[in-house]
Amino acid sequence: MKVYEYGLNNRKKVLFIATAALEPYWAFEKQARKLGDEYHVYAVSADGHDGQPGDFISIEKTVSDMTAELKKRGVTELYGAYGLSMGGAIIVRFLATGNIPVEKAVIDGGILPYTYPKWICKVIHAVDFVSMYSVTRSRKLLELVAPPERYTAEGSDSKTEYDGLMEFYKTYSARTISNVFWSANNYQLPHPAPKLNTRIEYWYGEYEKRARRTDIAYIRKYFEGVCFRRIDGMNHGELVMIHLSQFDDMIRKAL
């Protein structure tokens, strides 16, 4: 795990999970740096996601290690927290453990645990693993599931960005990919959920609403008073990774 800090002189502390599932840290770096203009940002890149040695193990281990590292850096409370997809799952688990209080949290297309029988979870995991391992090894498959014309960040060159992704994917082990797709969908949460004094927003893109329906249903029942926000015209992860100025505007309003 790596923790990058921006805006060290700012008073309000914000946790930014710079990990979604298989995206590299640099896909989130501009956004984290920009938030550092106003907040003291702790941008976290999980194990196995920044070219560093070692594999990603689990959401539970990531939250435990992250909490320990934040406390080591003197963090006793957070003004805000943000996470996308698996990063949203990390935020959910982090809030549920309650070790560091958070005033405001944004969970962007966050993944909540499956409620299926274990054998079904194993079948889904096998399909996910084969599919995503193949994507990390094939430029054609990557461009099929994430068309460059839609998934190239503002101000970036699609060829350069996708060349960088394919090189970065070489650093992912099969174990990391397997663990990502098992843990993100099957991590543990305490039941019942703890009572929080956190204002929680759950964001989802207009075109991912169907894919997020079980996540939305789960978090609606799990945490009290969650505010849901639909992002028009967007799919999973597009806002933060592609539309940087719009993301910056929305996250500042949420915080």
Q: Note the pLDDT tens digit of each residue in 30-78.
A: 999 999 999 999 999 998 887 777 899 999 999 999 999 999 999 999 9
Q: Looking at the chain, how many residues does it have?
A: 255
DSSP secondary-structure letter at 233? T
pLDDT tens-digit profile of 105-147?
999 999 999 999 999 999 999 999 999 999 999 999 999 988 8
From 3.20.20.70, 3.40.50.1820, 3.30.1860.10, 3.40.640.10, which CATH number describes the 2-113+189-254 domain? 3.40.50.1820
The model's pLDDT over 150-195, given as tens digits with 9 standing for 90+, comes to 888 877 888 998 998 899 898 889 999 999 999 999 999 999 999 9
Question: Quick one: average pLDDT of 212-226?
Answer: 97
Would you say 185 and 114 are in contact if contact means Cβ atoms under 8 Å apart? yes
Residues 106, 80: contact at Cβ < 8 Å? Answer: yes
Looking up tokens 């700012």 gives 10
Q: Taking the domains of the chain in order of start, what are their residue ranges?
A: 2-113+189-254
Above 80 in pLDDT, residue 200?
yes
Say what the pLDDT of residue 158 is: 87
Helices (H), the chain: 29-35, 59-72, 86-97, 118-137, 139-145, 148-151, 158-169, 174-186, 213-222, 238-242, 244-254
Give the pTM. Answer: 0.95
Residue 232, both tokens? 């028009």
Backbone angles phi, psi at 201, to 5 degrees: -115, 135
